[in-house]
Amino acid sequence: MPSALAIAAHPDDIEFGMAGTLLLLKEAGWEIHTMNLSSGNLGSMVLSAEQTAKTRRREAQASAKLLGAGWHPPVCDDLGIFYDAPTLRRVCSVVRRVAPTVILTHSPQDYMEDHMNTSRLAVTAAFARGIPNYPSVPKRAPVQTPVTVYHASPHGLMDGLRREIHPGLFVNTASVHALKREALACHASQKDWLDATQGMDSYLVAMDDFSRRLGKLSRKFKHAEGWRRHSHLGFCSETADPLSEVLGKNCLINAKFEKALRAGA
């Protein structure tokens, strides 16, 4: 059975912009897994860091259960996700354990460092998965399974300097949007935190708006998630694009993106 592993920074990041694609892969017979690198310990205005981490762990596990996904525990704390050897070895261990055909992770350009560092860690862990002399922690045997890495659309569809970043392909998530929303609602502790710190009226409404915005960009879907495919070098064949192959009509290549890519823009 092929498998997909979503590697994100914080509890609720996967549900916000990746869970729809995971659910469609699951419907296609794939095994799905989730891993948030951070415990989410800073995500409260009232609870202690320790209490917050425990609360967010329970919420993440409840969400994974609802999605029908394997859950892998965090290895860092908020604002403590760094591109360093100890963290990389732990992420690599999970990649080797799952041996995914697809890895879903953050955009390399995003609005915060935790997201961008997670993206780098996921990519390098995938690259190191088959290197016999690279020791993971816990120790796991290397795997040679080809893997295709996809980067999610950043929040706001822009990088930290407000430059627009559009997807290379759109995935139609309309059929699974309700379940995706229910999974995001498992992270109930985040409503007050996001309302207080980011001025968001509701994290559920924000997710709805984001997926509708991507759907509008596709000019075809009501709700969508957006992805950019990482270079194949060191990971898979040059033509590998499992999302397009497996999801069929629910996956739409962004022709403008591909044209710009070929032109070197």
- The position carrying tokens 């997807």 is 167
Whether 201 has a pLDDT exceeding 70, the answer reads: no
Domain count, the chain: 1
Confidence at 96, pLDDT banded by 50, 70, 90 = very high
What is the rounded average pLDDT of the residues 68-87? 98
Percent of the chain past pLDDT 70, that is, above it, reads 96
What is the rounded average pLDDT of the residues 142-150? 97
Percent of the chain past pLDDT 90, that is, above it, reads 86
Whether 48 has a pLDDT exceeding 90, the answer reads: yes
CATH of the domain at 254: 3.40.50.10320
Please state, rounded to an integer, the average pLDDT across all residues of the chain: 94
State residue 46's pLDDT score: 86
State residue 200's pLDDT score: 60
Q: Do 41 and 56 form a contact (C-beta atoms < 8 A)?
A: yes
Minimal CA–CA distance to 230: which of 113, 106, 140, 95?
106
Look up the domain containing 113 and give its range: 3-263
Q: Strand pairing of 148-152 and 102-105?
A: parallel
Structure tokens at 124: 């390098």
State residue 195's pLDDT score: 73
Helix axes 85-98, 113-128, angle to 10 degrees: 60
- Number of H helices and E strands in the chain, helices first, is 10, 8
166-197: pLDDT as tens digits? 999 999 999 999 999 999 999 988 777 777 77
Sign of the C-alpha dihedral, residues 122, 9, 103, 167? Answer: negative
Whether 14 has a pLDDT exceeding 80, the answer reads: yes
What is the rounded average pLDDT of the residues 231-235? 97
What is the rounded average pLDDT of the residues 241-258? 92
What is the rounded average pLDDT of the residues 64-71? 98
